[in-house]
Structure formats: C-alpha cells, structure tokens
C-alpha cells in the first residue's frame, strides 16, 4: 500500500524540517538545520537494521520519538520533552500527507472488472494501516487484506505471501506481486516463483542492501493493465 498505492507528496526530510522549525524559539539558538541533520542521521541508523525496522514500523510514534531523543542526546541536550514534541508534530504531519497515486483507484477497478483477484499485503500496525484503508475506501477493492500487525509476521517473511496465495486460491506462477521495496516485496516473491513488479519509488524508511532485481520495473501501477494485455498476446 505505502509508496505503491499511496504516495507522500512531501519527502520525510521536509516534514522533519517543518516540525523542527515550529519550535525554533525553544531550541535556544541551535540552528534548526543542524537539528535536522542530526535527526536524519539518527533516522538512517534506526531504520537500517531489520530488527529495529520491524519494531519501529509496528509503533511509528514511539519509533519517531526514539529517533528524536537519540538526536537530542547527540546534540548534548536533555530536554527530551521538546524532542517528543518535534517527533509528534512530524508524526501528525507525515501521516496526514498521504495521497493516492495517480490513477490508483481506476487501475484497481479495471483489474477487478477483468476478474483478477486482488490482495493487499502491508507492513505496519493495524490501527495505522486500517485508518489509511478506511480513509481512501480501499477495502472494497481487495479480495483479501493482510496487515502485519494483525498477522504472525510481516514482509519479507514468505508466510505472508503463501498465506495470501492460499486465501486467493492462486498458485505462485499465476500471481504478480507489485511493490516498492526490493528486499521486502521483490526478493521473497522471486524465490517463491511469483512474477515481481517494482514501482520505481524510494521509500523514506526503506533499506535495500542486496540490490534485488525485479522481473520488471514500472513507474506507476496504472501501467499494469497494459502489461497484462501484452502478456496475454504473447
């Protein structure tokens, strides 16, 4: 869902910058750009580890507060209440900034009219992800929705894919996976024999140490119907 069906018009660093600038008067003369640089370094470190990544994405407000406090410690500051305020402001602004990818709803409706079974697999906490699904009325467009916070694991664990295939009653060779993260979306599907399409967008909180190659790269999910037509005429 995130960075595939939903996009963020304002990059994460810009949202952090806006949140920091709101509290310039409380920074005691510290350059907001210095604070931004240290927060971004803390965020890069935090999200680079798979274990922290899983813990953090299941409680994003807590993860973002931890990142803010780590940055303040690096700056030699102990006023963690201010760090929390900055993180909470970032969290609110970031979460309300999502928007549908161009043509996303039309594409999903097109695929359903073709009789194609659709499933959503998304990492993260149930409340965060369900709120976005409800906001954009996505549930009626899918035959099955699997959210990490409601299941025993999340991507890239192969169980989320095999469980979804079982729910849809579809074999791996007959399935396509569309995602934005090579390690979370593409790699496990390649090993299962699922055709993989990667949306060419970089997730702010993602990491890609192995440079996994998809079967095909697209720029927007609206390209999928044409790809299906091409596959059927081969």
What distance lies between CA 85 and its chain's CA centroid?
A: 23
Residue 202, pLDDT above cutoff 90: no
Would you say residue 35 lies in a domain?
yes
**Structural domain ending residue among the three candidates 95, 121, 156:** 95
Rg (CA), the chain: 19
**Which range marks the domain in which residue 55 is found?**
6-95
Return the CATH number at 165: 3.40.50.1000
| Judgement on whether residues 80 and 112 belong to the same structural domain of the protein | no
Among candidate residues 95, 127, 158, the one where a domain is terminated? 95
pTM of the full predicted structure? 0.88
Instruction: Tell me, yes or no, whether 137 and 35 share the same domain.
Output: no
Which band of pLDDT confidence, cut at 50, 70 and 90, is reported for residue 229? confident
What are 89-100's pLDDT values in tens digits? 999 999 888 899
Residue 197 belongs to what H/E stretch? strand 195-199
DSSP 151: S
Q: If we measure between CA atoms, which residue out of 34, 33, 94 comes closest to residue 63? A: 94
Q: Using one digit for the tens of pLDDT, what is the confidence trace for 68-77? A: 999 999 999 9
| Strand partners for 8 | 98
211 and 116 fall within a common domain:
yes
Residue 210 pLDDT more than 60? no
């Amino acid at each position: 869902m995130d960075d595939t069906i939903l996009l963020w018009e304002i990059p994460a660093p810009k949202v952090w910058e806006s949140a920091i600038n709101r509290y310039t008067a409380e920074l005691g003369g510290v350059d907001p750009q210095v604070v931004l640089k240290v927060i971004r370094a803390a965020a890069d470190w935090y999200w680079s580890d798979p274990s922290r990544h899983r813990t953090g994405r299941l409680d994003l407000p807590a993860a973002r507060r931890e990142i803010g406090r780590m940055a303040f410690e690096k700056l030699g500051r102990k006023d963690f209440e201010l760090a929390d305020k900055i993180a909470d402001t970032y969290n609110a602004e970031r979460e309300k900034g999502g928007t549908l990818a161009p043509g996303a709803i039309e594409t999903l409706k097109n695929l359903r009219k073709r009789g194609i079974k659709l499933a959503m697999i998304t990492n993260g906490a149930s409340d965060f992800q369900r709120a976005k699904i409800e906001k954009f009325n996505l549930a009626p467009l899918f035959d099955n929705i699997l959210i990490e916070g409601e299941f025993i694991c999340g991507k890239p664990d192969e169980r989320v894919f095999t469980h979804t295939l079982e729910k849809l009653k579809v074999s791996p060779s007959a399935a396509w996976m569309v995602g934005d993260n090579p390690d979370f979306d593409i790699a496990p599907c390649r090993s299962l024999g699922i055709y993989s399409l990667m949306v060419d967008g970089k997730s702010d909180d993602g990491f890609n140490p192995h440079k996994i190659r998809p079967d095909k790269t697209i720029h927007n999910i609206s390209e999928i119907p044409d790809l299906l037509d091409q596959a059927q005429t081969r």
